[in-house]
Chains A and B, each alone.
Chain A
Amino acid sequence: MSTRWSCDEVRALAPELALGIAAGDDRARALEHLADCPACRARVEELASVADELLLLAPAQEPPAGFESRVLGELEAPPPRRRRRALIPAFAAVAAAFAAATAMWVATKDDRDLASRYRATLAEANGKYLTAEALAAPGGERAGTVFGYEGEPSWVLVTVYEDERPAPGRYQVQVITGKGKRIGLGPIEVTREGGSGGESIPIHFHDVSEVRLLGPGRGDVYQAEFSGG
């Protein structure tokens, strides 16, 4: 693990963070600091608001004829289904089995069948439970899903939606226990098609209270909260 950045180091990078142009590794380290430093976060947000004000200077220009009706036509359509990239193979079988069990519940409302399938899945994978929580963007909107698995080993899987993704870039995944211990996991690459990644964790998942995605843009931290710890 690298040494955490100080306030001075983060503030030196604040303009680039605010403009969303800081290099990936620097961004990740700064965002790790920002997640726990309200003063530096406020500084970056303040500069970001100045940068956003600049956008108001762009010359207005009427779009081509028919733009309004095309947009309104899209708005009348049902919201597009969120597409997710395939899960990484190591965890795909467990997640797919869980999804199948969930689908069965939706289709039949047969709780006993669900319970049976769920138990069989967990037994096959030496697990106790599989849970999932929404990955929330700083503004509160949903940006993806974080799966947590309590088993031997326990693991975490993060998926970011294609159509509501954060900006492309490298995102650091961080697991935080109820006692405040932080464990850095490998980064995931988010592209225009979304992104996903996961790995086993050296602790029980039931000790996890939060999973964070430290994003490359504008001081954002994406969070999913769990009941662990």
Chain B
Amino acid sequence: MWSVSKSVSDEALLAGLASGDPEAAAAFVRRFQARVFGLARTIVGNPASAEEIAQEAMLRAWRHAGAYDRRRGRVETWLLAITRNLAIDHLRLKRGEPIDPDSLAAEEALFMRAPEDPGGEQRGEVEALRTALAALPSDQRRALLMAALWGFTANEISEMEDAPLGTTKSRIRAALMKLRGELGVADEH
């Protein structure tokens, strides 16, 4: 039987979720629900849609918990990637609707703001990434976030930013490479 506390690792909670342990499942949902809902809300805006997406993300995690491979990333990142993909699917269905640039700018600003209570064992690393992101030229940061969060293609970003396609691709590439360097991965080029 599980003895669930804050000291239980994310991986152990996920294993408990996969095994059908109700206490582990409850602890898993409690531990990640704010991050999952927060990301969904950041991407889709609408709270009701964000809740549906967050709920579906938890169900996907439950279904696929057995396939999680820690070599491919942390549990939290894995779960947030599921959430992001669901949210982008949702947005693509509505892609015909006009995008409000002010709305994206507001979300970007929110995204860049450090939390008052960072918490969590990886927060130092996360805040270093936030600092690196903030240090990017604004056009690079914006292009990267439009792609990474909202799933816009380079063509779509190019049109929205009124910038040549080649410039947009260069901005995305430069931003991602800089962050990659900040995360301690040596560039082979």
Contact = CB atoms under 8 A, between A and B. Distances in A.
A31 interface: no
Interface residues of A, number: 45
Contact of B59 (A61, A62, A71): A71
B2 interface: no
B58 to A, nearest CB: 5
Nearest to A54: B148
A54 B145 contact: yes
A57 B130 contact: yes
Contact of B147 (A21, A64, A192): A21
B80 A52 contact: yes
Contact of A60 (B38, B81, B173): B38
Nearest to A22: B153
A168 B85 CA distance: 10
Contact of B153 (A21, A45, A46, A192): A21
Interface string B62-92: 1110111100110011001101110011001
A72 B26 contact: yes
Given A50-B183, A53-B183, A139-B68, A58 B176 contact: no
A110 interface: no
Interface in A117-163: 137, 139-141
Nearest to A16: B154
Interface string A53-75: 11111111111100110111011
B34 interface: yes
Given A63-B33, A72-B22, A55 B39 contact: yes
Contacts of A173: none
A141 to B, nearest CB: 4
B77 to A, nearest CB: 5
B51 A57 contact: no
Contact of B129 (A18, A23, A56, A71): A56
Contacts of A88: none
Interface string A158-174: 00000010011000000
B68 A167 contact: no
B37 A62 contact: yes
Interface in B173-187: 173, 176-177, 179-180, 183, 185
B20 to A, nearest CB: 8
Contacts of B183: 50, 53
Given A15-B172, A47-B176, A167 B89 contact: yes
B164 interface: no
19 contacts: A18-B176, A19-B176, A47-B180, A49-B73, A50-B176, A53-B126, A55-B148, A56-B35, A56-B122, A58-B35, A58-B149, A59-B38, A60-B35, A63-B34, A68-B33, A71-B59, A72-B25, A74-B55, A140-B67
List of 4 A-B pairs having minimum Cβ-Cβ separation, nearest first? A141-B67, A61-B38, A63-B37, A55-B80
Interface of B: 17, 22, 25-26, 29-30, 33-39, 41-42, 47, 50-51, 54-55, 58-60, 62-64, 66-69, 72-73, 76-77, 80-81, 83-85, 88-89, 92-93, 110-113, 115, 122, 126, 129-130, 133, 144-145, 147-149, 151-155, 169, 172-173, 176-177, 179-180, 183, 185
Interface of A: 15-16, 18-23, 45-47, 49-64, 67-68, 70-72, 74-76, 79, 137, 139-141, 164, 167-168, 192, 217
